[in-house]
Amino acid sequence: MARLTVTDAPHDIWVVAELKDGAPTPLTLEMTYGARMAADMMGFYVKVAVPGSDAPDAASTLIQAGADRITMIDHPAGPASAAGIASFSAWLNALSDLFVAQSPEFVMLGATPFGEELAARLAQRFGGGLISRCVSLRVDDFDRAFVGKRPVFGGEYFEVVATSGPAPQFATVLPDCFGPPHRDASRYGETERVALQLETGDQRWPPAGRVDFRMPSPKLKTARRIVSVGRQVGDVEAARRLALALGAEFAGAREATDEGYVDESRVVGITGARVSPELYVALGIRGDTHHTFGIQGARFVVAVHPDPDAPIFKQADAGIVGDPAQVARELAESLGG
Q: DSSP per residue over 47-87, as a string?
A: EEEEE-S--TTHHHHHHHHT-SEEEEEE-TT--GGG--HHH
Q: What percent of the chain has pLDDT over 70?
A: 86
Lowest average pLDDT, out of 113-122, 153-162, 180-189, goes to 153-162
* 201 pLDDT tier (thresholds 50, 70, 90): very low
Q: Phi/psi at 200 (nearest 5 deg)?
A: -95, -15
pLDDT for the residue numbered 143: 85
DSSP assignment of 235-268: -HHHHHHHHHHHT-EEEE-HHHHHTTSS-GGGBB
Domains and CATH numbers, the chain: 11-195 (3.40.50.620), 220-334 (3.40.50.1220)
- pLDDT reported for residue 217: 65
pLDDT at 182 over 50: yes
Average pLDDT over residues 27-35: 95
Q: Which of 133-147, 167-181, 212-226 has the lowest mean pLDDT?
A: 212-226
Tell whether the torsion through CA atoms of 261, 265, 271 and 273 is positive or negative. negative
Percent of the chain whose predicted confidence (pLDDT) is above 90: 55
Least confident piece of the model among 72-86, 228-242, 292-306:
72-86
Model confidence band, residue 168 (pLDDT cutoffs 50, 70, 90): very high
Using CA atoms, how far residue 249 sits from 23, 217, 285, 299, 337, in Å, is 46, 9, 16, 16, 15
Predicted confidence (pLDDT) at residue 206 exceeds the cutoff of 90: no
CA dihedral over 80, 86, 89, 91, signed as positive or negative:
negative
pLDDT of residue 237: 94
- The mean pLDDT value of the chain amounts to 86
What is the mean pLDDT of the segment spanning 12-21?
92
Give the pLDDT score at 194.
Answer: 81
Spatial separation of the C-alpha atoms in residues 229 and 267, rounded to whole Å = 10
pLDDT confidence of residue 197: 59
Tell whether omega for the bond before 168 is within 30 degrees of 0, i.e. cis.
yes
Label residue 86 by pLDDT band (50, 70, 90).
Answer: very low
Nearest to 50 by CA among 69, 27, 30: 69
DSSP 154: G
pLDDT at 205 over 60: no
Average pLDDT over residues 156-171: 89
**pLDDT for position 53:** 63
What average pLDDT does this structure show over 193-202? 62
| pLDDT value of residue 79 | 47
Name residues whose C-beta falls within 8 Å of residue 333's C-beta, 6 or more positions apart in sequence: none
Task: Using pLDDT thresholds of 50, 70 and 90, give the confidence band for residue 139.
Answer: very high
Report, as an integer, the average pLDDT of 189-193.
Answer: 89
At residue 326, the pLDDT reads 94
Please tell me which of 30-34, 71-75, 219-223 the model is most confident about, judged by mean pLDDT. Answer: 30-34
Q: What is the mean pLDDT of residues 87-111?
A: 88
278 pLDDT band (50/70/90 cuts)?
very high
- Residue 320 host element (H or E): strand 318-321
pLDDT digits (tens, 9 = 90+) for 53-73: 666 678 899 999 999 999 988
DSSP 8-state code for residue 10: -
